[in-house]
Structure 1
Amino acid sequence: MMPMWKKELSPRLAAVAAMVPPGVPMADVGTDHAHLPIALVKWDHTPWAVATDVREGPCRRAQQAVHAAGLSHRIDVRLGDGLKALEQGEVHTVVMAGMGGVLMDELLRADPEKTRSFQRLVLQPNMASHRLRTTLLGQQWKLLDEQLVFDEGYVYEILTYEPGSDDAYAAAAETLARQRELAFIKDDWFLLYLLGPRLLQKAWEAPDDGTRQLLLMRMEEAAEKRRRILAGLKRARHTAERQKIGPLTNQLAQLEVLAQCMRTGKP
């Protein structure tokens, strides 16, 4: 049965909401209009929530929306920067959705002790998800799940973390490296950080569930970005700029090989 809150959220936010465990308090950091906490609390998926934003305008809009929904007694709207608006361990799950991965990375690294006081992180970066994967792996967060969702012409990633050691990267590298053309992945995890080990594993093992097609779209975007940068660098005169050509060429080659293997199917 479809959750009632799913009808009130965009496909992107519905996918984020699905990773919030039922019956536990949550915080939506960078809440804007507070659509997510309102839907989850209204339909009793979440007992109570905190909605925060660093800007006064969105915070005011969130307060108005919460009041209009009659949920002011269950959703606390706060003005604050990142996790600073939360008390240590105050909620079970922290959601950050719709901001850049670099900003998310900075907010999570600002106070590692407070970050680790929460039991789940649900992250939907609009870009630079590799920064989050790299940082959180190093800080002993386990990548519980990764999803892709298509919403209004864009492919979005949802990353779900819980504290603990992570073997998803080694497992994905082992699986993909069985294809002779992808043996390099065992020693170079660039593609795992860029595209996600669990997404790659899903796309490789279950090619018909939709993940592979969405992942191929992301891969083509990443490859085209590197082609544009390389075209500019080849006209560069400074040595420091031209030194970037080698690493980017290698990244592009890895993306093209993986895409070819994904399209033709694993043996």
Structure 2
Amino acid sequence: MNEKQLSMRLERVAAYLDSYSKIADIGSDHAYLPCFLSLRTESIQAIAGEINEGPFQAAKKQVSRSGLSERIEVRKGSGLSVIESKDKVEAIAIAGMGGPLIASILEDGKNRLAGVQRLVLQPNIAAHSIRKWLIHNKYYLVNEDILEEDGKIYEILVAEPSKEKRHYTEIELLLGPFLSKRRPVPFKKKWQREVDAWKQVLKELEKGKQSNETVAKRNEMIEKIKMVEEVL
């Protein structure tokens, strides 16, 4: 494997991990991320966790082909169950899944997060569900990133443990406290697409029978469109 084989999405995830020496990549697929990091920085040791047999075997082959079997351990298991306290993991990456699934992996394995200094999370959809989990579990967002690759837009959330419970507004939970301030091009593109889709749903709701439930849903959508358009 060489550096060019990594997608731009995973390269951006890697950039938030390379100052740590003990890393776990959960749902590692072909173990591209830990291989990339380990080839670039000799001090890095990693765990590549995978629940499914096919990707687990593919990860083992990739690690072996890269000559990294002594520095990357491929483990089969669900979510954070592949991490043990003796591993002394400093940073965890979970990339390429839906936001609710990432949040549930964190929730199910939160007893294994002791000592972890950073979470780098890349949801394909519904990043707000991760932000909600983070604030309820005393993790503080230290950065957010967004990029477009092959026509798809990806968000990256970088969080660290905090002793204080943080508070975000409804719009910050939805759009991200960092991203809503910076508003880079992919951010504007993503949320303009969302607003256009909501407006289409709104048109359909207005055509249909106006029950109490429909009116409530319609009002909620109008409010959401208004909030997002104000930020854009």
**1:150 counterpart residue number:** 148
1:134 is displaced (CA, Å) by 1.3
Q: CA RMSD in A?
A: 2.0
- Residue 56 of structure 1 is matched in structure 2 by 53
In the other structure, the counterpart of 2:220 is 247
- Select 1:73's aligned residue among 58, 70, 73: 70
Structure 1: segments with no counterpart, 5+ residues = 170-188, 204-210, 260-267
Distance 2:229 2:20 in 1: 44
TM-score (norm 1): 0.79
Query: Which one of the candidate residues 195, 198, 220 is aligned to 1:226?
Result: 198
CA gap of 1:90–1:241, structure 2 versus 1, over 3 A, is: farther
Taking the aligned partners of 2:43 and 2:121, their CA distance within structure 1 comes to 18
| Number of residues of Structure 1 aligned to a counterpart in Structure 2 | 228
Q: Where in structure 2 are there 5+ consecutive unaligned residues?
A: none
Mapped pair 1:14 → 2:11: yes
**Counterpart secondary structure, 2:96:** strand
Deviation at 1:115, TM superposition (A): 2.7
Superposed, 1:1-267 pairs within 5 Å as 6-44=3-41, 47-88=44-85, 90-164=88-162, 165=164, 169=168, 189-203=169-183, 211=184, 213-234=185-206, 235-236=208-209, 239-259=212-232
Letter in 2 for 1:16: V
CA deviation vs aligned residue, 1:82-121 (integer Å, no higher than 9, x gap): 1011113631100000000000011111133323441110
Partner amino acid for 1:196? G
Whole-angstrom CA distance in 1 between matches of 2:66 and 2:175: 38
| In structure 1, C-alpha distance between the alignment counterparts of 2:73 and 2:149, rounded to whole Å | 28
Deviation of 1:61 (Å): 0.7
Q: Alpha-carbon deviations, 1:35-59, whole Å to 9, x = none? A: 1001111122652100011111111
**Identity score, percent:** 32
The alignment's TM-score, normalised by the length of structure 2, stands at 0.90
